Amino acid sequence: MLYYHHFDIPALGVQHRTIRVYVPPSYMNSKEPRHYSVIYMHDGQNVFDASTAYARPWLVGAMIDKMPVRKHAIVVGIDNGQALRLGEYSPFPRGAEGGGNGGKYLDFVVNTLKPFIDTHYRTLAEPEHTWMVGSSMGGLITYYAALKYPQIFGKIGIFSPAFWFNPQILQEPFAGSPHHIRWYVSGSATESRFMRHTLEQTYHALKNKGIHDAMMKVIVRDRGKHNELFWSREFKKMYLEWVP
């Protein structure tokens, strides 16, 4: 089931941003009032519904619907700002291309949206139960979220990251201890001629920051395009690994 909420984000000059909250079938079972992990996902228009997706939806809700109760989670899809998307998903400006509002966007997610979700839904609010997942530019801002708020996000899923927009992100330090964070980073060697190198750089950047191999998986797939079909497949693989 999907619930819709609307927020203003004054720091970004944005009004009426739609937030889509998926709750699994077991959530409505009054005989089992359990609490759930929460997955925060960018580009919310693409997460659940074909009618709002840019190309095709990830169908995350439909995927979780089919899983046993022990694998259920709440998913929060945060709609992108369309023309504002590049700025919201980039930590730093990039010359004439703009950008650089990623910090303000994450402040909204952490200080406004997450408290709302934890108050209005039965959540497990601890870092080990709080995920952030994104693809392309959404992967860039997800990586930055782990750097800036390691005390909030304990599971980080990044697909086909657009680190080319802010390559300095890989040298940025964590704002706290990152050793509890689990990482799943993937892309395809065929989606761009730079992706293999990007993922290799990502692996070494995390290693240099002290992340142990047991806490991360950085994968270069042999095939796959830079699109929602590839990302939805990668999401399912990550999900099944993290929620056995």
Residue 89 inside a domain? The answer is yes
Residue 218 inside a domain? The answer is no
Which element (helix H / strand E) includes 1? none
Residues 6+ positions from 119 with CB-CB distance below 8 Å: none
| Residue 108: both structure tokens together | 């909204």
Locus of tokens 């108050």: 119
Strand intervals (E) in the chain: 2-9, 14-22, 38-41, 74-78, 130-135, 155-159, 182-188, 216-221
Residue 168 inside a domain? The answer is yes
| Segments forming the whole domain that contains residue 64 | 2-182
Q: Against a cut of 0.95, is the pTM above it?
A: yes
What is the per-residue pLDDT for 30? 62
Which DSSP symbol is given to 125? Answer: -
The domain that holds 123 is classified in CATH as 3.40.50.1820
Other Cβ atoms less than 10 A from the Cβ of 117: the count is: 20
Residue 203 inside a domain? The answer is no
User: pLDDT tens, 84-139?
Assistant: 999 999 999 998 888 999 999 999 999 999 999 999 999 999 999 999 999 999 99
User: pLDDT tens, 148-161?
Assistant: 999 999 999 999 99
| Residue 109: both structure tokens together | 């997610």
Residue 36 inside a domain? The answer is yes
Which portions of the chain are predicted below pLDDT 70? 30, 32
Check: CB of residue 161 under 8 Å from CB of residue 202.
yes
Number of domains forming the structure of the chain: 1
Residue 212 inside a domain? The answer is no
| Residue 233: both structure tokens together | 């497949």
Q: β-strands 38-41, 155-159: how paired?
A: unpaired
Residue 219 inside a domain? The answer is no
Residue 211 inside a domain? The answer is no
